[in-house]
Amino acid sequence: MSSSVLSMTRPTTNGSSCATATTTATLLAQQLNAALANNGKSSTAAVSTTAPHPPQPKQPLLAAKIIKQSHVVCFDVDSTVICEEGIDELAEYCGKGSEVARVTKEAMGGSMTFQDALKIRLNIIRPTQQQVSDFIKQRPSTLSRNVKRFVAQLKGDGKQVFLISGGFDCLIAPVAAELGIPLSNMYANKMLFDYKGDYDSFDVTQPTSRSGGKAEAIGMIRKRLSTTAAGDAPLMITMIGDGATDLEAVPPANNFIGFGGNVVRPEVYRRAQYYITDFEQLM
């Protein structure tokens, strides 16, 4: 068996915008308000924000100040750093999109653990190493608007940048390379293949393969880095993401900033103290 990180350069795409939907801003606002009115009962549903005017940000100036004060900034990947959901895209590419979507819906309804849902979805897709390689070449992920500039600014300011994802390293590694983030700063799941390159299983020892894994990964980052920053200031870590698992990474993260540039998770929008819809709002 072997880890699934594939050595390749992420192909470039024509245009970096995620705007492909035709949903109007008015409809988006109505959908979001209806979800919030239900006190989060529809929290598993995601509302597309590819309309011209996404939801109102929440305290973006304070969020930008928090970023300046942070020593470490951690990003979710799917629907945050990139526009897509990697495993859903891979499933569709392998002709298993509808089957995987059904399992995803059941998992969101709480009928199974995250790790069980991951196992079932991968057993449905069963991608080979060659299929994964072809998928990355033929369907490269799309970076979210302004995320590349934002990451460059963070690194220029001397901050540590990490990617923490429930997705797979083989799909995320090309994205990390384009952003200049070392693979050692990436926490993600690993597909395992047999000697013929056929799918075998996934690494269940990875923290992001189970519920609460992102908080566990941030705890590992705290142990890995010095417990204190410059002087006597404690290490400040901020998590940015679109999903509930990102929101629940606090603690051990000090702060959470919700991101709704691609999709809005109503529960996250309701619970997040800080919420942005474009990374430029943090620059």
**Torsions phi, psi for 112 (to 5 deg):** -155, 160
User: How many angstroms from the chain centroid is the CA of residue 2?
Assistant: 24
Q: Which residue has the tokens 């983030």?
A: 181
pLDDT digits (tens, 9 = 90+) for 57-109: 888 999 999 999 999 999 999 889 998 888 888 898 999 888 888 877 666 55
Average pLDDT of span 221-238: 76
- What is the rounded CA–CA span in Å between residue 2 and residue 4? 6
Please give the model's pTM, rounded to 2 decimal places: 0.79
What does the block give as tokens for 154?
A: 């963070």
Q: Are strands 274-276 and 263-264 parallel, antiparallel or unpaired?
A: unpaired
Q: Give me the active site residues, please.
A: 76, 78
Predicted pLDDT of residue 259:
93
